[in-house]
A and B are shown apart, each in its own frame.
Chain A
Amino acid sequence: MSSLLAASSADVPFPILSALVVTPFLGALLMLVLPNGRPEYFKQVAFLVSGAVAGMTAWVMVEFDKHTADEFQFVDSAEWIAGLGISWTLGLDGISLWLVVLTAALFPLTILAIEAEHTPKAYYAWLLLLEAGVMGVFLALDLFAFFVFFEIVLVPMYFLIGQWGHGARAYAATKFFVYTMFGSAFMLVGILATAFLTAAETGNAVSFDLVYLAEEQALATTTARWIFLSFAVAFAVKVPLFPVHTWLPDAHTNAPTAGSVILAGVMLKLGTYGLLRFGIYLFPEASVYFAPALVALGTIGIIYGAIAATMQKDLKRLVAYSSVAHLGFIVIGTFALNTEGLSGGLLQMVNHGISTGALFLLVGWIYDRRHTRLIAELGGLQKPAPVFAAVFMVVMLSSVGLPGLNGFVGEFLALLGAFAAHRWWAIVAATGVVIAALYLLWAYQRVFHGPAEGDNAEMKDLTWSEGAIMVPFLAAIFVMGLYPAPVLERMEPAVDALIEHIEGNVEDFDEADADQGEDLDVDDLKDLGKKKDSKATDESALVEGGAG
């Protein structure tokens, strides 16, 4: 990663990454000046803007050079607050690429799928601002810029839950806000400490540049550990990790559908991405030091979240708790600190966005039709709505981690990596797949199986437009399950560079990986076991021997 600052191989004159952040931001501003007379314009404009972002992202994805996926590409740097060493630096590598793609894909789909219940102007403006913030978080290579984006994200989500939510929405929004702010405060301290202490140690000017700070590794071990913890608290809240997860079920349950989709789809990944990019990259020694604790917390999250999900009575709350469990897999994979685990965790971030995003959309559509999310009030929906049920089944099985669908590969790799590094925790964590089958299949049975009575018998099946929205989700579920290689190929160089970075900066660190046996070809098996056969006596036959 030494050549990180070397410009990207794709030599673009156009600051494409800045465009990914600025376009939705401008879109949000545009929304404010649109006339109120034609409310349908708001949705159309929001879709066009997010669609444009998706288009640009598609171009970035195609142009992304997989051979240099360990370097930041399309880097876009400008001075911002020069006196404080703060810069506007955006860049993309194999780690952030897929999260950016996920974000760019999820926003237009969500905008298309869900109508604003009221005041569309503000609703779509907040959504676009949210997209700008999330993009910024995934692209920022400057600690200060990262923090700003990280905080910006909070505001639209706070208002989306608070004003377009259901039930105890004010409580949920406040809880979400306060919780995250609590974490952010620690991170702000951490960011400032990192920058200023590095400056103090090296005698250089203060800089918030991520790559510079990470490569410099100027901090004393204990200091770095403390600062790592301050970052970890912020990200742990965001992930969320046990025991700071309780804002999530409330936020999800009371958020409007779009809020839930975005929250689960991309916002939770701000935490796991942060742990990866800012935790491990900036503080390799501390990450190695605290890895067992984080793996333990991740494992607890898997089991605890799954058990809590099983007992939920509200379908949306159930999916929310399942997120706690799924994010646990990401954390244990990440802190396995080996190629399999890190890649698995990263892949699982994308997969969870697809599966849980789709699941929240489907639950939202059930709510639109039935005006309830209580499992006990639903039942037998498969009879009146077979296509809906089939789509729900596929998405659910992807969430259960059925091989051949997307959820499996990431989950498996994360567990595999964790097993290599922390065997017993992984063995415990793997029981999470049993409970996942239990809570999702049980929920499915209670919602879709059995006889349909009353309003349930009248449930409308999936419409063509809803079906069209699900097509990209289903396509991603199958493609990522059967042919994840293109995604993994682009991640791996970046993941390997990160591991090399740890190895280069942490003495005694040994990537916990597989022992190597003999690599054999099918023809090598030819003579195996022959000796045993020739030594042994032949099997007796009835005719030969005694009777013969």
Chain B
Amino acid sequence: MLLDLAFLIPAFPLLGFLVILVAGRRLGEPGAGWVATMAMGGSFAAAAAVFLGLLGEDADERRHVQTLWEWVPVGDFSVDIGFLVDPLSITMTLFITGVGALIHLYSIGYMHGDENFSKFFLYLNLFAFSMLMLVLGDNLLLTFLGWEGVGACSYFLISFWFTEEANATAGKKAFVTNRIGDWGFMVATFLIFVTIGSIEYVDIIGNAEGGHISESTATWITVLLLIGAAGKSAQFPLYLWLPDAMAGPTPVSALIHAATMVTSGIYLLTRVNPVLAEAASWSTDLIAWVGALTALFAATIAVAQNDIKKVLAYSTVSQLGYMFLAVGIGAYIAAIFHMITHAFFKALLFLGSGSVIHGMHHDQDMRHYGGLQKLMPITSATFIVGWLAIAGVPPFSGFWSKDEILAYAYDVNPVLWVIGLITALLTAFYMSRQVFMTFFGEYRYADVRPEEISEIWDTRFATAEAAVAEAEAGIGVAEDGIVKAQEKLDKAAEKLEQREAEMAEADESDEKAFDKATKNLEKAKEGVVKAQETVDEVTVSVDAARAGVDTARANVETVLAAAASAGDDLEGISDDDLPAAVKERREFHPHESPWQMTVPLILLSGAAIIAGVMNLPFSKDLHFLEKWLEPTLYGNKHKLGLSGGELWILATIAVVIGAVGIAAAVAIYLQKRIPAEKVELAILARGWRYDEAVTDFMGGPGRKGFDLVAWFDATIVDGIVNGTGRLVRTAGGRLRTLQTGLVRSYAALVAVGAVGLIAWFLVRTTF
């Protein structure tokens, strides 16, 4: 039976992992990459076979449990390693293995030349295995195994280039933040077990539908699972690990942090939809609101990011928010639909950004791109497909899935619909901005960058300032010279007076003496004249120095004026003044990526174009995905109460909104009619300072609190112990006459105490 091939789906990547673990270094590059890619291909084939097997069954019979072995058998708590094969899990496995195989292939090109090439594929296969365990597991514990397994692989891969401190920190942040969510998952599992004595999905679904889970219990389970899902799927307030996770190699961002792992939360909530159906409405409303607000919040941040991957990261958070919104209002199929189309176009966008980064010397700043369309035609064309898909331009896939979510939102609560629309507007805007900055306009990479220009001007300004300071110091020296010269002049004058007096007193009779006095007088006169000359000279030099300062100051002004007039232009800067980096960039020619990278891009762009056909809204006959997934929803799907006319109007509004977003981006980034600073607000660039606030809290009061506990332990708890010890020792020292060993004295003390206690007990019970 085809369904019994289910175990092969995770078995292939596990096998790949083991092969690379044992022979990775021998396989080397590109061998290890091909092993891993083929493992994913095998897994995809197995998933396709199981899919065909399921299709062969009646719609109501499409459910199968394959048990491998008993994992944790303890009393009532008995959990198997077993797989639940149904339309929901197989839908997940199909896109996980399909997109996964393409990303594996892509990575062979992307990771070319990395010294840990085989290790990368080792982790990648392990990740795929964990992810498949997550979706195929027939119980919460096995899902949790996959859940934490993907978290661990995500941690390994984010900190893959671990010698950079920032990468290591990002990996740790991802794992620890996810663990907060995992706490919710664990407690939910406890609560479910305590309530129905099982954590198998079959029992959870059956008992929830059978009314064996009370509303309050179901509500708590929902809230706890929401905490778990918010961690893994990067929703507010736990989203902040995802932007940092971009520190990992780009294929990782595409596979783990866009297409697969981050959708686990939506999968989990959909899987237990009968519990959500039993829960109080405020808890499912909470899911919807968390989703809607996260979608909007993240979209606003994406508007002001300059790192090509950060834009996509916030975009992913935002798109996952849409899916939460859909789950919260019971539009499960819309959520899964969007999950699939998003997996295609966001993986495409991430891989495209990776191709750009790969072609651009690992520069991720979009301000340095521009005009790459001509240089990287395949990357550019496929990226544009992804852009149109996410921006909601019909007939690209993203339009259909997003529109379906918006229609349900409108039906349930128009406020949610408005939030979704604003988000759609922002999405169209920031994605257009990204495409325009990267692929359109002038080629800017070789340009001298504003910061480099200002650096040159800064250097010139500093030089001029230094000249002023030097000239000013010259004045000081010259003025000192005047003082000294004046002193000399004074001395000479004194001497002259003295000589004149001598002359006056000189005896004219003594010819010799008289001659001498006359000579002395002459000399003194000469000295005075010389000193006077020196004073005059020095005075002139002071004036010259003063003039020099004025010139230097004027020069500073000139530099400033020139800098101001030049602005970001190269006016007044010759090529010789430019830093070496600019020359290097001028030599550099961006290149299109190798075929291992472009083939996945082309295939994914095909999927991103046509994936909408899974669930076109025109006729019930076209609702393939809906019919396929319906049996896993047990009638808990929200029933859309809108007429066809209303749906047409909603779709038109959505298209217009998307067009407005794109038009705004055209005006700002292509036609430059509005300066970009008007929208790229600093507060948005800093993510509303939420991350900073959390980091500050953790590093500040949080750390102080932890330190306090450590201090309490060392000083108070241990202090009491040591204090008691000293007290006993002092007391003992007074009692003791002989110097005995410390331990022996304690032992004796203890023995005496023990005997006393025994006596007390015996006496107490005898009488």
The residues of A with any CB-CB pair to B shorter than 8 Å are 158, 174-175, 177-179, 181-182, 184-186, 188-189, 192-193, 196-197, 200, 223, 226, 230, 242-243, 245-247, 304, 307-308, 310-312, 338-340, 343-344, 380, 382-383, 397, 402-404, 408-409, 412-413, 415-416, 419-420, 426-427, 430-431, 433-434, 437-438, 441-442, 445, 448-452, 482-485, 488-489, 492, 496, 513-533, 536-548
Contact = CB atoms under 8 A, between A and B. Distances in A.
A434 B183 contact: yes
B526 interface: no
B765 interface: yes
Given A174-B742, A542-B617, A492 B74 contact: yes
Contacts of B725: 175, 178
B179 A543 contact: no
A514 B78 CA distance: 12
Contact of B72 (A226, A402, A488): A488
B152 A523 contact: no
Contacts, number: 309
Interface of B: 60-61, 63-65, 69-77, 81, 84, 141, 144-145, 147-149, 152, 155, 159, 162-165, 167-169, 171-172, 175-176, 179-180, 182-183, 186-187, 189-191, 193-198, 202-203, 205-207, 209-210, 212-213, 274, 617-620, 622-623, 626, 630, 633-636, 639-648, 651, 706-707, 709-710, 713, 717-718, 721, 725, 742-743, 746-747, 750-751, 753-754, 757-758, 761-762, 765-766
A504 B64 CA distance: 43
B411 to A, nearest CB: 10
Query: Which of A307, A441, A517 lies at the interface centre, i.e. has the most chain B CB atoms within 10 A of its CB?
Result: A517
A525 B206 contact: yes
A514 B761 CA distance: 41
Contact of A404 (B149, B210, B713): B149
5 A-B pairs with least C-beta separation: A546-B645, A529-B634, A532-B635, A517-B196, A339-B75
B623 to A, nearest CB: 8
Contact of A174 (B63, B163, B205, B743): B743
Given A177-B743, A450-B168, A402 B152 contact: yes
Contact of A193 (B203, B717, B743, B761): B761
B149 A403 contact: yes
Contacts of B198: 517, 519
B179 A518 contact: no
A537 B73 CA distance: 44
Contact of B163 (A338, A383, A529): A383
Contacts of B144: 403
6 contacts: A416-B193, A427-B187, A450-B165, A517-B207, A526-B61, A529-B634
Contacts of B168: 445, 449-450
Given A416-B189, A529-B634, 20 more contacts: A174-B743, A193-B758, A196-B762, A344-B74, A397-B152, A402-B149, A404-B149, A449-B168, A517-B196, A517-B212, A518-B196, A519-B198, A524-B202, A526-B60, A526-B63, A528-B205, A528-B635, A540-B642, A546-B645, A547-B644
Contact of A192 (B647, B710, B758): B758
A311 to B, nearest CB: 4
A192 B195 CA distance: 44
A524 B206 contact: yes
A445 B172 contact: yes
B410 to A, nearest CB: 12
Contacts of B710: 307-308, 310-312
The interface residues of chain A, by DSSP majority, are classed as helix
A191 B191 CA distance: 40
Contacts of A488: 72-74
B752 to A, nearest CB: 9
A515 B217 CA distance: 13
A413 B619 contact: no
Given A441-B175, A520-B206, A546-B648, A181 B746 contact: yes
Contacts of A441: 155, 172, 175-176
B717 A547 contact: no
A196 to B, nearest CB: 7
A102 to B, nearest CB: 19
A482 B189 CA distance: 19
A448 B162 CA distance: 9
B176 A307 contact: no
Contacts of A343: 74-75
A182 B749 CA distance: 9
B631 to A, nearest CB: 8
Query: Which of B63, B72, B647 lies at the interface centre, i.e. has the most chain A CB atoms within 10 A of its CB?
Result: B72
A408 B142 CA distance: 12
Contact of B644 (A181, A531, A532, A541): A541
A110 B198 CA distance: 41
B644 A544 contact: yes
Contacts of B762: 193, 196
A413 B187 contact: no
A356 B467 CA distance: 66
B75 A544 contact: no
A546 B644 contact: yes
B647 to A, nearest CB: 5
B202 A545 contact: no
A540 B620 CA distance: 8
A175 B165 CA distance: 39
Given A483-B69, A518-B207, A520-B202, A311 B648 contact: no
A185 B751 CA distance: 7
A391 to B, nearest CB: 13
B61 to A, nearest CB: 7
Contacts of A179: 721
B690 to A, nearest CB: 20
Nearest to A545: B644
A32 to B, nearest CB: 22
A517 B208 CA distance: 9
B707 A547 contact: no
Nearest to B621: A541
A546 B635 contact: no
A526 B617 CA distance: 27
A311 B709 contact: yes
Contacts of B205: 520, 525, 528
Contact of B709 (A307, A483, A492): A307
A540 B643 contact: yes
Query: Which of A192, A245, A542 lies at the interface centre, i.e. has the most chain B CB atoms within 10 A of its CB?
Result: A542
A228 B203 CA distance: 41
Nearest to A389: B162
Nearest to B751: A185
Nearest to A179: B721
B190 A426 contact: yes
A185 B70 CA distance: 45
Contacts of B207: 517-518, 520
A521 B202 contact: yes
B187 A430 contact: yes
B617 A541 contact: yes
Contacts of B64: 522
Nearest to B149: A404
A339 B197 CA distance: 13
Contact of A527 (B60, B171, B193, B721): B60
B727 to A, nearest CB: 13
B707 A545 contact: no
A485 B73 contact: yes
Nearest to B77: A340
A245 B757 CA distance: 24
Given A427-B187, A430-B187, A547 B648 contact: yes
A415 B149 CA distance: 20
